[in-house]
Amino acid sequence: MAVFKGAGVAIVTPMNADQTVNYDKLEEIIEEQIAGGTDAIIIVGTTGEGSTLTMEEHSKCIKMAVEFARHRIPVVAGTGSNCTATAIQLTQEAEEHGADAALVVTPYYNKATQKGLIAHYSAIADSTKLPMILYNVPGRTGTNIAPETAAYLHKTKKNIVGVKDATANLAETSEMMRLCDGDLELYSGEDGLVVPILSVGGIGVISVVSNIAPRYVHEMVMSFLAGDIEKSRKMQLKELPLVDALFCEVNPIPVKTAMNLMGKEVGPLRLPLCEMEPANLERLKKAMKDFGLL
């Protein structure tokens, strides 16, 4: 059984004015997501500012998300690190807290070889019983999981079940699915490429847009999976201006700004993330108004 099918939200981490984590607000937005049809909560990933959280905050966010979700939908914990030992610790803590799966980004900065990636992911997989979703986002990490590497890991480690693909390289994604004989839980990591990813065997998206339009993204994915490809295609094209605005500055700056514009009061960003440039803020506001969110 897949970790989830449909639209999982790469949820933000709300902050108080003093930049401490606002766990009350986290519970509130998780409730809103579940009510809005979201199919999974992905906690403390890129959008959740996981790289700026302390180890204690990271662990507590996972623990609280599991408690708040109450098994109504899966909770997938971001547990990647550029240090294998740290990634193992985070993954084991996520398992102890009751997470349903781990999302493990490629080691950043180190620029591991494919051999190093195999050793890294194998060590994490051997340390846990959690299903693992590999997160391939070379634009952020400087490291790409080759299709052959993903296929090898999937075939040799039974708990490496899927890939979040944010490569924007459909040829490589297709080759990865071919090498895995289609037996891979493939999730789009690009909001602008959900339907293309679904067309080569994907089963969902880990979405930034879902923070502000959960029901829309859920419906777009489920329409495709139900066979209404034309409806899904039209929905994908309609949301592209909003997607572009949400990524006109580095994620999660625009999406957190968008949520605050909608009155969700998710608080500030942590440095080195900072407030949006005025021109980009106006672009975001326009896209949100055109989409009917403001």
The residues that are catalytic are 135, 164
Query: Residue 77 in contact with residue 39, Cβ under 8 Å?
Result: no
**Is residue 206 part of an annotated ligand binding site?**
yes
The residue written with tokens 């990636």 in the block is: 117
**Is residue 47 part of an annotated ligand binding site?**
yes
Query: Residue 138 in contact with residue 149, Cβ under 8 Å?
Result: no
The two most distant CA atoms of the chain are separated, in Å, by 49
| Distance, CA of 281 to CA of 245 (rounded, Å) | 9
What sign for the dihedral angle of Cα 187, 189, 191, 192? negative
Burial call 199-237: b when 16+ CB within 10 Å, e when fewer: ebbbbbbbbbbbbbbbebbbbbbbbbeeeeeeebbebbe
Region of residue 286 (left: phi > 0; alpha: psi -120 to 50; beta: else)? alpha
| Distance, CA of 167 to CA of 146 (rounded, Å) | 11
Q: How far is CA 283 from CA 78, 82, 110, 280, in A?
A: 30, 34, 35, 5
Q: Which residues are annotated as a binding site for pyruvate?
A: 47, 206
Q: Which residues are annotated as a binding site?
A: 47, 206
